[in-house]
């Protein structure tokens, strides 16, 4: 497909209510325009388009939010480089695209260097990189086998979260909470460590584009009966 064909596809899928909500964001749109299409629908569209690195790069250059999301979803993880990641993280529209950029559906979490990148970005002075770094750390918490980091690696990051979460913005705190949740689901040892931090921090309050949301309660996730049975805790 070409950029023009993708934009025509997005136009056909436009959601007037979503577009109205987008306009309410004002300067929060970072100059991008939108067809108001939700992420679930965009994921389906991305699967229909398939992997296409050249198209991904072309879509990333547009000013259309959904086109840029598709760019993150259809790129080829085998060809993404560290330099590309460092360049794109600077172009996330003030962090608006950070969640998709660092999610499991996007390309970056599927690269061979994702664990190293997460470990580096959570230590960054840049809040957008920290946000993405903890998002990638959450994705890494789901890895198994040879691809999975060591328990010591995760314990160190639980300690880092404990030391720094109080000074972070709501957005980064939310990503930290997700990472803490993912880590705490890996083993009994990690569950105990993550749960202690989660209890100290309490539910994480945050606001989305549509307004205030229910606080993110990491403790609730880490004390679920099914998880306790799985981990033997």
Concatenate the DSSP letters of all residues of 124-156 into one string: -S-HHHHHHHHHHHHHHTT--GGGSPPHHHHHH
Q: What percent of the chain has pLDDT over 90?
A: 85
* Residue 64, strand partner residues: 33
Asked if the model's pLDDT at residue 214 lies above 70, the reply is yes
User: Which pair of tokens denotes residue 222?
Assistant: 């880490």
Please tell me the predicted confidence (pLDDT) of residue 151. 97
Per DSSP, what are the bridge partners of residue 33?
A: 64
Residue 94 scores a pLDDT above 80: no
Residue 212, pLDDT score: 57
More confident residue, 115 or 24: 115
What is the distance in angstroms between the CA of the first residue and the CA of the last residue of the chain?
Answer: 51
**Residue 30 confidence (pLDDT):** 86
Q: What are phi and psi of 204, to 5 degrees?
A: -95, 115
């Amino acid at each position: 497909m070409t950029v023009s064909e993708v934009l025509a596809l997005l136009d056909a899928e436009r959601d007037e209510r979503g577009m109205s909500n987008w306009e309410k964001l004002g300067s929060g749109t970072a100059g991008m325009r939108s067809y108001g299409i939700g992420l679930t629908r965009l994921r389906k569209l991305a699967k229909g388009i398939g992997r296409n690195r050249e198209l991904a790069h072309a879509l990333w250059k547009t000013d259309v939010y959904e086109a840029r999301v598709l760019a993150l979803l259809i790129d080829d993880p085998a060809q993404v480089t560290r330099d590309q990641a460092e360049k794109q993280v600077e172009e996330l529209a003030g962090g608006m695209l950070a969640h998709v950029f660092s999610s499991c559906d996007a390309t970056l979490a599927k690269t061979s260097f994702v664990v190293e990148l997460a470990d580096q970005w959570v230590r960054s002075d840049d809040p957008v990189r920290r946000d993405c770094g903890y998002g990638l750390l959450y994705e890494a918490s789901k890895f198994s086998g040879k691809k999975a980091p060591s328990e010591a690696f995760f314990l160190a990051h639980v300690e880092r979260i404990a030391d720094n979460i109080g000074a972070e913005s709501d957005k980064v705190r939310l990503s930290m909470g997700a990472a803490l949740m993912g880590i705490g689901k890996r083993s009994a040892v990690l569950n105990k460590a993550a749960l202690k931090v989660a209890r100290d921090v309490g539910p994480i309050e945050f606001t989305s584009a549509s307004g205030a949301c229910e606080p993110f309660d990491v403790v609730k996730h880490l004390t679920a009966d099914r998880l306790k049975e799985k981990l033997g805790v």
